[in-house]
Amino acid sequence: KQKTAYEIPKRDWSSDVCSSDLRGIPVSTGVCVGKILILGQQRAAISRQEISESDVPHQLERLEQGLLTTRQQLHEIQQQVTQAMGAKDASIFEAHVLVLDDPTLLEGVTRMIAEEKVTAEWAFHVVAERFAKTLEALPDDYLRERIADLRDVAARVVNNLLGHEEAVDVARLKEPCIVIAHDLAPSTTARLDKKMVLGFGTDVGGKTSHTAIMARSLRIPAVVGLQDASHKLHNGQTALLDGFNGLVILSPTDQTLFEYGQIEQRQKGFEERLREIHDQPAVTLDGAQITLSANVEEAADSAEVKLAGGEGVGLFRTEFLFLNRSTLPSEEEQYQAYRQVAAELKPAPVIIRTLDLGGDKLPTFVGVAQDAAEMNPFLGWRAIRFCLQESAIFRAQLRAILRASAEGNVKIMYPMISGLEELTQSNELVEQCKAELRAAGVPFDENLEIGAMIEIPSAVMIADSLAKRVKFFSIGTNDLIQYTLAVDRLNEKIAYLYDPTHPAVLKLIKQTVDAAHRHGIWVGVCGEMASDPAMVPLLLGLGVDELSTTPPLVPPIKYIVRRLKLAECTELANFALECESSAEILTRSQALVSRAAPDLFGGRA
């Protein structure tokens, strides 16, 4: 059963939470109560030990043996995860194996052993940590989340070199507990015994980390970003871990336990109502039809789209076909992935976004020459700019998408369009690829619809010109907000300035919608605003025709849409376009959602 991210209401527990209780980031829904078990407090100290010249060959042999042992362990873990959770989650460990085969990493380790005359474990630890520090400096959240993977592999290699075993075997726990750690490596998370691990919390981590992904697959509550929980808490303490609101409540009172129990009971009824509307359209109370689609990252996700009741795919993020691998995906491999999703979901539409890759998102093993690291990769060589310069890669992808379009339900869209020339060049390449396939007798959809993502203010300013040359717009609100407000939302010092209800952002969305409708094309939103219940009435009122969100959020967003009236959403949007306070706009939008769908918040308006 697919669980949603809003099964238990997000409420203000400030009156219930003591100063000793901890707040973090919820990454896997659910609530559990149990005794705490702290992991990772006893860590083996790694010290620099120098060796003689004659011992260098021996250390290199030890390194080879350590790498071999680690590779065997990862293979065993991958098999266990495949059996327990499926191939999709097991594929996470392919990235771990690639770390062991990374020539730059291994060359750095062997060179350090030979030149500095140090032990294999010290050299591997130092070089791997240098790599991790480099990733930490990058502004891209996906790459920064891979730091945990790198350190997981490095720790495993070092432990194997030292002959150390885990102090606590998480696969063989004796009694149920809530695990707390500074960080849980993906390989550790994969081995958690669901019967004994009720939930877990970590000091660090984010929603897109592999550990968070695996927690959701295991269906156990998890909270990350608790800062110093592993040092503050102690073994044996009783706690309630709330994976909906990101809380760890120490020694919960009977009243707190009672309230959570009541909420869970009410939630069972809400889950049933979500199941009842699974096959129903996303239509407002006054008859306005909204298309509700899902965002996917790989072909296997089509099953989740069906399970959630999505009306097709509003965003297929194709860059994930290119990451965590040593070679470029071939045209045939891409075609099979795109065709699989289209075939499994037809006649529902599948919108495939061309590569949003480049700058800091470009893996070094892709084989594309790059200059020195960019000062600001978000403003640099990425997305459509990368594709137009690396035309061989782009053409292979376009041909693969065109071939998949023979299924009859494929659409294509370009990311990060900033000007008319980029759109024109991209369309010309599509026509060239069509001509090649036509000449070769390869079938494709001659009427394939092409769209453009609106993510940059300059694209909004020329939306009328763009609308004449495409069939639809899709607003990427994450980047649109970032570029409009000059805010890196991953920068903790200024993250508070990242504001979806900023009047400037709402006016840009309205301008985009109006330009599209003037030229007879539709507009979707595939960014995080489409996943936020508080934003739904605003987006509907601004005239958006489609919302595309992650599959688990499709049911609650549909529930909200079916409880709203477009007339009141339009009234809210008109107010917002005249209002100068983003806080007031947000408050009114939240209030409208709470009144329309109180069940989403545990029956409270």
Q: Out of 96, 125, 182, 210, pick the active-site residue.
A: 210
Catalytic site residue from 387, 433, 526, 569: 526
Beta strand 31-39 pairing with 238-242: antiparallel
- DSSP state, 314? E
Residues 33 and 242: their CA atoms lie apart, in Å, by 9
- What angle do helix axes 147-162 and 210-218 make, rounded to 10 degrees? 90
As a whole number of angstroms, the distance between CA 72 and CA 59 comes to 20
CA–CA distance from 33 to each of 172, 180, 181, 249 (Å)?
20, 13, 17, 9
Amino acid at 341: V
Is residue 278 part of the annotated active site? The answer reads no
Q: Is 160 left (phi over 0), alpha (psi -120 to 50) or beta?
A: alpha
Residue whose structure tokens are 């102090």 = 167
Token couple for 537: 């009435």
Q: Would you say 516 and 548 are in contact if contact means Cβ atoms under 8 Å apart?
A: no
In contact, 201 and 225? CB cutoff 8 Å: no
Burial of 382: CB neighbours in 10 Å, binned 0-12, 13-18, 19+ = buried
Query: Is 210 part of the annotated catalytic residue set?
Result: yes
One DSSP character per residue, 244-292 reads TTTEEEES--HHHHHHHHHHHHHHHHHHHHHHHTTTS-EE-TTS-EEEE
Which amino acids are annotated catalytic? 210, 526
